[in-house]
A and B are shown apart, each in its own frame.
Chain A
Amino acid sequence: MKTGHQIHLPLVFGAAATLFGAGAAHAEGIGAGTLIENTASASYDDGTGPQTIDSNTVTVKVDELLDVTVTSLDSGPVAAAPGAEVHTFEITNTGNGPEAFKLTANPAVAGNDFDATVSGIAADTNDNGTYDPGVDLLLTGPATTAVLEADENLTVFVLVVIPADVADGDESDIELLAEAVTGTGASGTVFSGQGVDGGDAVVGLTGASGNALGGLLVGIARVDLVKSASVVDPFGGTSAVPGAVITYTIRAETAGSGSIDDLVVSDSFPAGTVYRAGTLALDGTTMSDAGGDDAGEASDTGISVELGTVVAGSSHAITFDVTIE
């Protein structure tokens, strides 16, 4: 837009006067408000003996540098499923004076397969690195950290909710932005009188803002049960006649990613058949028919096998025999 462009031009000229050198700092710089005093002294001989003299003392007050970094503390994408998940970030005040930072979490990052919903940002109040609901303080409106001293860091948690309609393998990033409360801008931007002890505050190389991404990877496991049967009749054939033995195989295939907890596979004996005691087996290993001693159990009416936690990609085979009456 032309109008907008015309408004912008004076700002560009203003920026030309910006000091470039201001931000060439180390993270562990001399603290804001420090007085640097320099005095020279001289000794000489004026013919009457040695003399000494001091110069006046010149004093420079160190102004406040505004800098911040944000780092994801997640070891990789957070394994996620529909529901609540937590991202962990670290905010470090890399400036040289005390400063608070405003935090903004953006769940709509370009390239996301889906966007989570941010439900809150919390500070690690008890400093244990893990989000503890009700203990770790939720930062509200707008989320702002406590004042961090120079070089102090703070662990924060971004709480997100993953929608129900995500698919296995979907990925999504969350961006956490931290901005100095005093202000942000191009390196060298000055906030007059807003630094420590009435000094100036100057934006450092980070622009007084930092951001980092935290990833989510959706893992949804799915179990497929496939049942098959083979028949051996008393005459050596495969006819389903009275006296024939049917061997059932139930194959439990876990697909997708992640894992499934407390998986129990159970089956009822077909009418007109009788279970052949001692034939229940898991992956080729016979189990007792009694309950409680191992994973398997057989009753008058059916079998039940507790597979417990199964990870995606695993496969288990349950077999048992019945006799046709």
Chain B
Amino acid sequence: MKKITLLIVSAALFASATTAPLAAQEQPISLVGDVKVEKTVADEAGQPKTVLVDPDLVVPGDRLIFGTDYRNNGAEAVANFVMTNPVPAAVRLAPDADADLTVSVDGGASWGTLAELTVTAEDGSTRSAEHADVTHIRWTLAAVDPGASGRLQYPAIIR
């Protein structure tokens, strides 16, 4: 009895320990996210200067830069690379974000540049979408070659 039990346990361990890493290794693409906060500090001459620092101290109104580094670690090119970033509810897309960004204002159901999108109110009336309406941002690359990497980022203001 004892031997059988041990055997089953070790088999289960082997299965669970190997499945996840194997799946990860199979992925040629890696995504590494980071976030910085923009702060205006006084330089030595007393002039305000904008710097990006780790977000150890953030308050409403602060400007965050969310970034994601992608890289193709595989030997083959990948196609139809689409990276999607849901915008956290506690922030709004900054007004100076790239106007050509492909965004969604309805939870990812429909996409376009902000200027192309509208928001429908409960009473059925529509208005132009604003930065604060953006729920998702999407970047599309036709292909990512082996060894190729890049960074996609967006600025956001804490509500």
Contact = CB atoms under 8 A, between A and B. Distances in A.
B60 A25 contact: yes
A46 B28 contact: yes
Interface string B100-126: 000000000000000000000000000
A242 B107 CA distance: 107
A48 to B, nearest CB: 9
Contacts of A29: 59-61, 158-159
B: interface residue count bin? 35 or more
Contacts of B93: none
Interface in A26-57: 26, 29-30, 34, 36-47, 50-51, 53-57
Interface residues of A, number: 45
Contacts of B80: 43-45, 50
Interface centre among B31, B63, B74, B144 (most CB of A within 10 A): B31
A185 B86 CA distance: 37
Given A25-B59, A58-B33, A19 B78 contact: no
Contacts of B81: 42-44
A36 B64 contact: yes
Contacts of B61: 21, 23-26, 29
A22 B41 contact: no
A37 B60 CA distance: 15
A110 to B, nearest CB: 32
B34 interface: yes
Contact of B59 (A20, A43, A96): A96
Given A44-B78, A44-B80, A55-B31, 16 more contacts: A20-B42, A20-B48, A21-B61, A21-B62, A24-B62, A26-B60, A26-B159, A37-B88, A40-B31, A41-B84, A42-B84, A45-B79, A46-B78, A47-B76, A61-B58, A202-B57
Interface of B: 27-35, 37-42, 44, 46, 48, 55-64, 66, 68, 70, 74, 76, 78-86, 88, 90-91, 144, 152, 158-159
13 contacts: A20-B41, A24-B61, A29-B60, A36-B88, A36-B158, A38-B85, A42-B82, A45-B78, A46-B76, A46-B78, A54-B31, A56-B33, A64-B59
Interface of A: 16-26, 29-30, 34, 36-47, 50-51, 53-58, 60-65, 96, 190, 200, 202, 204
